[in-house]
Chains A and B, each alone.
Chain A
Amino acid sequence: MQAELELPTAATLPLLVAPPPVRGIETFFYDNKIVRDFGIATVIWGIIGMLVGVLAAFQLARPEVNLGNAYTTFGRIRPLHTNAVIFAFVGNGIFTGVYYSLQRLCKARMFSDVLSKIHFWGWQLIIVSAVISLPLGLTTSKEYAELEWPIDIAITVVWVVFGWNMFGTIARRRERHLYVGIWFYIATFLTVAVLHIVNSAALPVSFMKSYSAYAGVQDALVQWWYGHNAVAFFLTTPYLGLMYYFLPKAAERPVYSYRLSIIHFWSLIFIYIWAGPHHLLYTALPDWAQSLGVAFSIMLIAPSWGGMINGLLTLRGAWDRVRTEPVLKFFVVAITAYGMATFEGPMLALKNVNALAHFTDWIVAHVHVGALGWNGFLTFGMLYWLWPRLYKTPLHSTKLANTHFWLGTFGILFYAIPMYWSGFTQGLMWKQFNSEGMLQYPNFLETVLQLVPMYYLRGIGGVLYLSGVFLMMFNLYKTAKSGVLLVNEKAEAPALLPAAEDPHATGGHWHRWLERRPFQLAVGATVAILIGGVIEMVPMFLVESNVPTIASVKPYTSLELQGRDLYIKEGCSNCHTQMVRPFRSETERYGEYSKAGEFVYDRPFLWGSKRTGPDLHRLGGKYPHSWHYNHMMDPTSMSPGSIMPPYPWLLDNEIDYTDLPAKIRVLQQLGTPYPAGYDQQAVADAQQQAKGIVAELKKEDIDVKSDKEIVALIAYLQRLGTDIKVKPEQAATSAEAAAAQ
């Protein structure tokens, strides 16, 4: 076994027979402090993000946990949880691992300590601005891209700093070839940059408000191209890169197959980018784009599993150590969770599975297997491995780390199993018809209340998982206390020879050519990730037949627009979809299925991805204004037992008309056909419409001033999905009149 680990001898490798030229040995120092700083940030943000997650989990079980104020309601807390966990916890985790491994794989210190510092503090500031702005309701509502435009620009700047530092280090490397881990880092950097810039394109209205550059179906396609690939290139590829470094280091075993690395790297990044439309199956997205999403999702199984295989087979010969070494335990569960989630994903992308699973807790279970298992456990394993090396002292307690492992594992099970159960239950209840051909559960609330016990259990799973992280924090703290941070770690390596004199600079496997050329590798990766996006998005924008026009669909009135922005601010789309899918069970429940042409003025689109409450796309005209008024004040008054939090502040807050003219102008610029000069009439127009609603409410003995937010929200909710109903409703009214005579 030991023999395998020895360097190949000249006899086994004829390429090396010629004695290598003598190279001067250089001494340099790795920057460990930046690694430690990112590591601490990972732990702290992890705890915060997961705490917010636990809060959100219990809010679904008990509405009181929304704490009775606007800032902590589920609609605002859920994006905070997702952003904190993805960009703060996993983001800092990526940087911890990249800053440690990149230096060692390049045999060079990070390119610039100043850039490292700017990167670190810039990233933390962005997170802090998210922690402030999201509870304030400053959000674009686009999932995992909720942050408003000034923060988006800051993210772009800091991301460029990271790239600059990374490529600078690569340029100064003392290692001729780039290791597979670095390929993944490069692909991550480039793709995230492309995704972020394209999806965040928006026109600002004011300092913290903007409208998406895309509308309706197109916005949905861009958003889920982004959303899906945020999973791919923020939660998957950088972590695969980390796995390729930390797993063989911790297992002290060679990587299973170099060839497999090449095939699965290129196929993964090429295929992943196409799969976004599988988030929009059975929606108003054109069929061809949906089918591409499904086909590429299925082809994604093997490339994803290539990483799993290369991880698990690298552990051959080290399985005995998995029993005793918590780092390896964490890695094994992480890779297994990765394998399960990346098989489940393509299965969920099949139309018939998706018809049942989409909008339910099944998806929530699926992403948490990935996030808690793959990202969480890989991060924990990495930190347990790093800390003793950064502080030059053994881990404070292996026993505690083992306890963390078991708490975390049970936490995942307690989280995932109830959510799968809940997802199946929900999906089946929505679709169930009775023998008389009617919905078995016509009252949506009935399907929700069925899930509440599962929501409690899921919350308990989250608490278990989080308590493990607290143990880790304590363990790492004690480890740090008992050692001294090795701020600058001394290393020696020969300088790179000029390519002409270096025998390593030519030949080898064809892919070695690319590994010697970071620029060409980066260009290749960029081409690979652009193809899918371009082929899906360009026709969607240019070919008109993709979004058939509906003549009766008109832009929102200025009051409805204000109401819509409140809908966005309160994060309603976190629980309510606006997408009636073409299923009998949905058209029976909600009304006509949603058409692409209905969303042409929706900036951003608000289709949602989770149906905790009922779909709202055909809500307009379903209930009287007074129903909405009472329901927003106290949902349980109209739906006894409802788990929706109350929104009493909408009854007190005044509508903010300051930005309205600017909003109209921005929308005009983006192509919404408001008449010229409408920006100046918009406020008066809104006030006029508000008066009408107030008069209606008055008839029901509800006294409300016309400048309250609730009025704008009612205006929007009553408009929802009514444009195509114009004709049938008139028909019904005339039928009624006929019957009365």
Chain B
Amino acid sequence: MTPDRTYFSAAWAVAWRYLHNLYTKPAVFVPGLIFPLFFLAAFAGGLSAVGDTPRFDYYNFTAFQFCFILIQASALAGVFVGFSIAGDFEQGMGRRMMLATSRRSSILLGYALGAALRLIVVWVIITGVSLLAGMEVRATGYDLAGMYTLGLLSNVVALLFSAGIAFRFRSLQAGPLMQMPVFIALFLAPVYVPQELLTGWIEPVARLNPVTALLNGARSLMAGDPTGILLAYGVAFGLIALLALWALRGLRRAEVAG
């Protein structure tokens, strides 16, 4: 096999193992699916009256919340992969994977591939449930592709962040360190109302929060009125570039630690 083929075949093996573990252990797969559905029900169902407040000009409250759930579910799917990496290293599997691959970044690529494939299932389910709950879609096919791509990029951002922590700590005890910052960043964005309606301390925080750009971009695409898309993609790719360095340096530390 050529070096490139070896690299991708190692990545594919890691992805396959991850997906196999995921779908044969419901306790691992189900929480990642249940949490977004739960938030969708709680927000789109319980807060729909918020859509009637003055100056709330988004066309459909379920669609408004769906965009948040899409970004949230995508990001949390990335975090859950971080848990798997930490678990694999804790049990010694990570070390064996390192011995089996010549270029270790293929391990990270494999987990990322697995996360992306897992995400498709999550997307299908939350989209189906939202449509059943009365979500109206105004996006064109291109807009939808752009919106789901933002979801995928959110997934990669969260995955690289969590992987960086997982490679450094190599223990599931680092789980809260992966989950909490992502959870906090998500909830410091305009979750319940458009950014213009935020007041008080959360308004400047949301303005500076990179998740806000992703969320606003996704919502505008869903409404078929794309605005701030360059900013959203710029923020996503900028974070990916920074966090790829973070994750790869973490991988290097894991290699050094043996």
**Co-complex (A, B):** no
